[in-house]
Amino acid sequence: MKLSKTLAALLLAGIVALPGLAAAETRLNFVSWQKGEKGYGDWWQAVIDEFETTHPDVKIDFTLMPRDGYSDAMITQFAAGSAPDIVHLTSFEYVTFAENGWLEDLGPWIEKSGMDLNGWAGQSVCEWDGKTQCIMMLYFGYIMAYNEQILAEAGITEPPKTWEEFLAAARATTIDRDGDGIKDVYGTGVHMVSANSGWTNDMLIYVLSAGGRWTNNEGKVTINTPETIEGINRWRTLVDEGLVPPGGAELDQLFIEGKVAMRLNGPWINAFLQKADPAIQPHLKYAASPMQPPLGGASNVLTLAAETPQEKKELAWEFIQLATSQKFQELYSELGASPAPRPGAVGPASFEKVPHMQLLIDATNAASAAGVDRMPKGLEAQNNEFTKLAAEQFQRMIIEKLPTEAVAATVQAEAEALQ
């Protein structure tokens, strides 16, 4: 009897208290592949901490979802009607969501809050179907990381500045030290595994350096132009001459282990360099990419889901405003070791903490000035299909030793058919 009374009292207390608790705390879902990542992950956590401090009645459920399979999981969430309240996507996948009407038109939100996006790096990528679908979180340009010791061993005292110098350096630094038939060091590295955007992105570095593009500014496919073919041949020279690891995987890891002499990559390569062995780390340096204009473009975006309830949308928008504020954009440059998209967001602290910051800024500006983006204009909605078909054809070109011109013509026709 006594037990029954106690249970009844607890139940009553629960019934009275629960609605109060629920009202006291709103939870916002935020899913990202960058949680826990050194640099960018630290920055997200700092924004969340600040948001929760200024909004004591709001908690952010920050969940890690690995990059592999990220878009699959997000599509499933959106399709099931349970999209995250704060939506974090890569720039090359957001169009898929926008095309399906899943993203909020941020235009009215920007206007209402008076947010100034003038000069915001890469923001034009977020314009789709006449609407502002997202806020750009990172626009970057590629730089070159190189192993000074390996270059010196090959008699090269200065990092290469042109394609010709780069090719010569790659040839000189591809070394079989003990003559056992196995190369111990490769000049550089290009992605050669799964036929995905890794192939087309790496090839685009060389295509851009020869004045080519996958598509022009009007969205017309330009793969069979002489410039693009010349660029493909530059990439092909590195592969055919065995100047790159034939495995073509884990290239950043091979670079920090001293098995690749030069690596062209985005600002995130800095996180890898921090993990290098102390014996190798002092020899790892940065320089401007010898391939100009450098590959670059939009990386990831922040936005809202159209179906999120209005109250939560308002809170999520406040979170976005905080993330894009001057204070947190400066912190982004500092912790992320890459220039934040907000104009004037690179402060003295960033320069002090990231000695190669000026290189990153120059690379970003160079890529931006040349209108470079990894996602080809006019193929945004078919980007995955394009990268697959192009990568497979170029794979076939290498395997079957087909003429570049013929393969470029095939890819040109298939890309046009996709459009």
Partner 1 sequence: MTDLTQPRPVTAPVRRSSGLFGIDLASPRHARKLGYLLLLPAVLLILGILVYPMLLAIEISFHDVKFATLSFGASEYTLKNYVKLFASSDFWNAIGVSAKLLVVVTSISMLVGLGAALLVNQQFRGRGVARMLIALPWAIPEVVAVITWLWILDASFGVLNWMLLKLGVIGLPISWLNQPLPAFSAVTMVMVWKGFPFISIMILAGLQSIPEEYYQAARVDGANVWKRFIWITLPCLMPVLGVSLVLTVLWVFRDFSIINVLTGGGPVGATETLAIMTYEEAFSFFRMGYASALGVVTLVICALISAFLVKKTSHAVF
- Give the torsion sign (CA, 351, 353, 356, 362): negative
Q: Is 35 in the site for partner 1 (CB under 8 A)?
A: no
Question: Exposed, middle or buried, 375 (CB in 10 Å: 0-12/13-18/19+)?
Answer: buried
- Site for partner 1 (CB under 8 A): which residue of 245, 266, 267, 376? 245
Rounded Cα distance, 3 and 52, in Å:
40
* Minimum CB–partner distance for residue 341 and partner 1 (Å): 28
- Site for partner 1 (CB under 8 A): which residue of 149, 321, 384, 409? 384
Query: Contact 145/263 with Cβ under 8 angstroms?
Result: yes
String of DSSP letters for 63-87: EE--STTHHHHHHHHHHTT---SBE
* Minimum CB–partner distance for residue 219 and partner 1 (Å): 20
Q: Is 321 in the site for partner 1 (CB under 8 A)?
A: no
Q: Is 72 in the site for partner 1 (CB under 8 A)?
A: yes
3-state secondary structure of 351: helix
Q: Is 12 in the site for partner 1 (CB under 8 A)?
A: no
String of DSSP letters for 380-416: STTHHHHHHHHHHHHHHHHHHT--HHHHHHHHHHHHH
Q: Is 254 in the site for partner 1 (CB under 8 A)?
A: yes
- Site for partner 1 (CB under 8 A): which residue of 371, 392, 402, 414? 392
Q: Is 399 in the site for partner 1 (CB under 8 A)?
A: yes
Q: Is 71 in the site for partner 1 (CB under 8 A)?
A: yes
Q: Is 361 in the site for partner 1 (CB under 8 A)?
A: no
Rounded Cα distance, 261 and 287, in Å:
13
Which pair of structure tokens corresponds to residue 4? 């029954």
Rounded Cα distance, 41 and 52, in Å:
17
Q: Is 186 in the site for partner 1 (CB under 8 A)?
A: yes
Q: Is 238 in the site for partner 1 (CB under 8 A)?
A: no
Nearest to 304 by CA among 72, 79, 85: 85
Q: Is 203 in the site for partner 1 (CB under 8 A)?
A: no
Residue 399 phi, psi (nearest 5): -65, -45
- Site for partner 1 (CB under 8 A): which residue of 247, 282, 344, 355? 247
Q: Which is nearer to partner 1, 36 or 242 (CB)?
A: 242
Give the interface segment with partner 1, choosing from 74-82, 351-359, 367-375, 405-413 (CB under 8 A): 74-82
Q: Is 96 in the site for partner 1 (CB under 8 A)?
A: yes
Q: Is 273 in the site for partner 1 (CB under 8 A)?
A: no
Rounded Cα distance, 393 and 115, in Å:
44
Distances (CA, A) of 278 to 35, 81, 101, 418: 26, 48, 49, 49
Give the interface segment with partner 1, choosing from 132-140, 194-202, 363-371, 402-410 (CB under 8 A): 194-202
Q: Is 81 in the site for partner 1 (CB under 8 A)?
A: yes
Q: Which residues bind partner 1 (CB under 8 A)?
A: 69, 71-72, 75, 78-79, 81, 96, 100, 180-183, 186, 192-196, 245-250, 254, 259, 384-385, 388, 392, 395-396, 398-399
